[in-house]
Every structure is written in C-alpha cells, then in structure tokens.
Structure 1
C-alpha cells in the first residue's frame, strides 16, 4: 500500500513527540500490514516520551514509537499463510532471531537478539504498522478494540504472577501502574488467598481495589512491613510481584517475603539497587526471578483464556480514550499517574 499516514514520531533527542504525516510502511514477503484500531500507552513509551536515561541509551530518533495495539490485517506478504486479510489481531512485540541458544531451546522470550517493536523498530502509534506475520495473535471478532490492545501488557502481568505457584498463596503486588493493577486481577483469578496492593498513588490503589485487591497500602501513609506483618500473622507474604522499580520498595519486597517465598521482578530500576542478599535472600531461601516479556505463545493463550472466561476484566483499568491527535493529554495523565491505561485511536 502506498501513500501517507498520520503517526506519532519521537522526533528528537529530548522531551515530547510530534504528530506527523509519514510514509505508510512497505511490507516484506513474510510481513503483514495492519490498520491500527486502538493503541495503548505503555510505561516504556513514557520513558521514551520524557527522554529519561534509559531511552537516551536505547532509542534513535526520529522514528514512530508505540508497541501495544489491536487492528485489522489489510495486506499480506507473498509468503504469509498464517493470517488473512480482514483478521482482527494484536501482536507479540518481541521480534526474536530463532537461532540463538535460547530460541533453539524454546525460550523465545529471552532471545539474546530480541528487537522490540516501537523501541528498536517502527511502532504502532500510527494509522498502520507493518510486522512479521509470526508475531501476530488472532483475536475474537467481538473483542473490544481497547481490550485487545492491552493484551500485550496483560501478558507481562500474567507471566509475573504465574511464574510460580499462586493458588492459596498470599501475594503482594508492589507498584500499581497499569501492569501492576492487572497483576492484581490475575492473582485473584489464580486463586490467591490474599492480594495486597502497594503504591504511593491513591487513584491507582483504588483501581487495584476494583480489580480485586483484598488490601491496599499507601506506603507513604503507613508502614507496609508493619501492615503485612499483621495481615500474615508475622509470617510475611508467599509471593512478591515487584512492579515499581523503586529501590526502597524493592528492598521492602525482599523483607516482606516469607522464608522460602518467591520474588518475581518485572520492574526496570534505572540504577543499580542495593539488596541485603545475605539476610533477605540466602538465609530466607528465597527464589528470585527476573521476568521479561511473555512466554511465546504460552502466555498469550493464558491471557486470551482469562479474558474469554471473564475471570479477569480489564475494563476498570482502562480509564481514558483519546484520538491520536490528543496524545499529549494521554502522556500527561500517564506522567502524573492520574490514570489507569490510556488508549489512543488513530
């Protein structure tokens, strides 16, 4: 397809972005072109928009960013057989090599040569996006476009929560950004006996309550370790899902986990974090897991089934919708933390 499209471009090495008219991507023989129906703002996009230390070292403007979306296939490459024109799709955003030791042993989610859509390649904050066909996930035709667009970040939440045994366990979710809020819903659906949500933002803590948190803790107003000690009879929580990336919160997570418990870390601290390894990990026999991306495509199947069954409802977490032209409103809300998930529609 030839022509121009409107797209949100990270236009320079500084704060912000610009809406521009750019060329519609041309597809390769193994790719498809998708007309974007909805695209949601991720914390990674906020890092790029605000031009923090991580983005300065990773991305190379100018380029179209954004990686969470849903849309309709409108063109397919000559070698594509897995999808058809008209299919309603979302996408796994990690493009993997298929030949490294990790890929060859089925661990595609930790491919050493991973490229991320909208970070290392052209993204989906646009009317159209081109992607390898192998990265697509077919959605039910009747799935709302905004729900379909948040399956990728929901996959992060699912991967984090279900990386170990959860049923009957006490689970603490530290950091109630959109993924943390979804992790609350996933933990509840997985049969956690208690789901404790911790953050400094009352707005987002209330969203976590709507998603099923049994207890919410504002760590700026009360001592989370004392509250959790009381909630667990002094034993600590079985599972910590660390979503904040804040050094103080991360340290508290290791102190609140019970002996033999699990700490699954999805967050990306911007600087090295000092942890008392001897007392908070070794002597407690704690399992520590780094969580990246989604298991391909096991996690996508879990996400799809949780949504289809109604066990997890993401609607309370999707709080704002804007046309792509009003992207600044969406990013402003994300920066201030006065929202759940923000969806943009080209």
Structure 2
C-alpha cells in the first residue's frame, strides 16, 4: 500500500512527541500490514515521552513509538498464509530471534536478541503498522477494539501474578498504574484470599477497589508495611507484585513479604535500589523473580480466556478514549496519574 499516514513520532531526545504525516510502511514477504483501530498508552511509552534515563539509554529518535494495539489485516506479504486480509488482530510485541539459547529452549519471552515494537523499531501509534505474521494474535469478534488493544499489557500483569501460586494467598499489588490495576483483577479472579493494593494516588486506589482489591493502602498516609502485617496476622503477604518502579516501594515489597514468600518485579526502576539482602532476602528465604513480556503464546491464551469468560472485567480501568491527535492530553493524564488506561483511536 502506498501513501501517507498520521503517526506519533518521538522526534527528538527530549520531552514530548509530534504528530506527523509519514509514509505508510512497506511490508516484507513475511510481514503483514495492519490498519490500527485502537492503540493504548503504556508506562513504557510514558518513559519514552518524558525521556527519562531508561529511554535515553535505549531508544533512537526519530521513529514511531507505541506497542499496544488492535486492528485489521489489510495486506499480506507473499510468504504469509497464517492470517487473512480482514482478520482482526493484536500482536505479541517481542520479535524474537528463534536461535539463541533461550529461544531454543522455548523461552521466547526472554530471547537474548528481542526487538520490541515501538522501542527498537517503528510501532503502532499510527494509522498503519507492519509486523511479522508470526507475531499476530487473532481477536475474537466478541472482543471490542479497545479491549483487544490492552491484551498485551494484561499479559504482563498475568505473567507477574501467575509467576506464583496465588490461590487462597495474601497478595500485595504495589503500584496501581494500568498494569497494576489489571493485576488486581487477575489476582482476585485467581482466588487470592486478600488483594492489598498500594499506591500514593487516591484516584488510582479508587480504581483498584473497583477492580476487586479487598484493601487499599495510601503509602503516603500510612505505613504500608505495618498495615500489611496487621492485616495478615503478623505474617506478611505470601506474594508481592511490584509494579511501581519506586526504589522505596521495591524495598518495602521485600519487607512486607512473609518468610519464604515470593516477590515478582515487573517495574523498571530508573535508579539503583538499596536492598538489605541479609535481613530482607537471605534470612527470609525470599524468591525474587524479574518479569518481562509474556510467554508466547501461552499467556495470550490465558488473557483471552479470562476476558471471554468475564472473570476479569477491565471496564472500570478503561477510563479515557481520545483521538490520535489528542495524544498529548493522554500522556499528560498518564504523567499526572489521573487515568486508568488511555486508548487512542486513529
């Protein structure tokens, strides 16, 4: 397909982005061209938009960013026979090599040579995006474009929660951004005895309660560690899921977890995190696991199943829908923490 399209461009090494007219991407023999129907803003996109230290060390402007979307296949590469024109799709955003040690062991989500769309190559904050056919996930007709666009981040939340057995356990979700909010709903659906949501933002704590948190704690108004122990018979939580990226929150996650418990960390702290390994990790026998991406495509199957069954309802945290042209408003809402999930419609 020839022509121009609207796209949000990370245009310089600094704060912000620009809406520009750029060429519609041309596809290779193994790729498809997708018309984007909905694309949602992720915390990683906020890192890039605000140009923090992580973004400065990773991405190379100018390019189209964004990686969460749903859309319709409009063109096929000559080698593609796994999807058809007209299919409604989303995409696994990690493009893996298939040849490294981890890929050969089936651990594609931790491929040594992963390229992430919207980070390492052009992304989906645009009217069209080109992707390898092998990365596509077919969406059911019952799933709306907006809901389909957030399956990728929901996969992150599911991978973080399901890294541990949470059934009948006390679980803390630390950081109630969009993925943390999804994790609340997933932990509840998975049968957690308690889901304790912790944040500094009253707006997002209210959303966490709507998503099924049994307890919400404002970390600025109370001692979250003392409150957690008080609500768990002085044991601490069995599983802590760290989603905030704040160094103090990572430290508190270790301290509020019971001896022998799990700490699953999805967040991307931009500063070094001081940890008392002797008292808070070794003597407690904690298991700490870093979480990246989704198991391809096992996590997608679970996410799709939870949405289709209605066991997880994301409606309360889908708070804003804006035209692509109003992306600045969406990013400022994210920066200020005055939103759940923000969807942009090209």
Into which bin does the TM-score normalised by the smaller protein fall?
Answer: over 0.9
Deviations 1:262-292, CA, capped at 9 Å, x for gaps: 0000001102111111111111111110000
Q: CA RMSD in A?
A: 0.6
Give the structure 2 partner of residue 2 of structure 1: 2
Matches of 1:129 and 1:26 in 2, distance apart?
9
Give the structure 2 partner of residue 294 of structure 1: 294
Deviations 1:32-83, CA, capped at 9 Å, x for gaps: 0000000000011111111111111111111110000000000011111111
Give the structure 2 partner of residue 234 of structure 1: 234
Give the structure 1 partner of residue 28 of structure 2: 28
**Comparing 214-223 and 47-56, the one that deviates more:** 47-56
Secondary structure, counterpart of 2:80 in structure 1: coil
Give the structure 1 partner of residue 257 of structure 2: 257
Deviations 1:144-192, CA, capped at 9 Å, x for gaps: 1110000000000000000121101000000000000000000000000
Give the structure 1 partner of residue 305 of structure 2: 305
Give the structure 2 partner of residue 69 of structure 1: 69
| TM-score under structure 1 length normalisation | 0.99
Matches of 1:250 and 1:54 in 2, distance apart?
17
Give the structure 1 partner of residue 200 of structure 2: 200
Matches of 1:48 and 1:67 in 2, distance apart?
12
| TM-score under structure 2 length normalisation | 0.99
Secondary structure, counterpart of 1:216 in structure 2: strand
Give the structure 1 partner of residue 12 of structure 2: 12
Unaligned runs of 5+ residues in structure 2 are none
Unaligned runs of 5+ residues in structure 1 are none
Task: Kindly state the Cα deviation for residue 294 of structure 1 after the two structures are TM-superposed.
Answer: 0.4
Residues 278-293 of structure 1 aligned to structure 2 (within 5 Å): 278-293=278-293
Task: Kindly state the Cα deviation for residue 142 of structure 1 after the two structures are TM-superposed.
Answer: 2.4
Residues 272-283 of structure 1 aligned to structure 2 (within 5 Å): 272-283=272-283
Task: Kindly state the Cα deviation for residue 12 of structure 1 after the two structures are TM-superposed.
Answer: 1.0
- Runs (4+) of structure 1 exceeding 2 A deviation are none
Residues 300-339 of structure 1 aligned to structure 2 (within 5 Å): 300-339=300-339
Deviations 1:74-93, CA, capped at 9 Å, x for gaps: 00111111110000000000
Q: How many residues align?
A: 346
Matches of 1:334 and 1:77 in 2, distance apart?
36
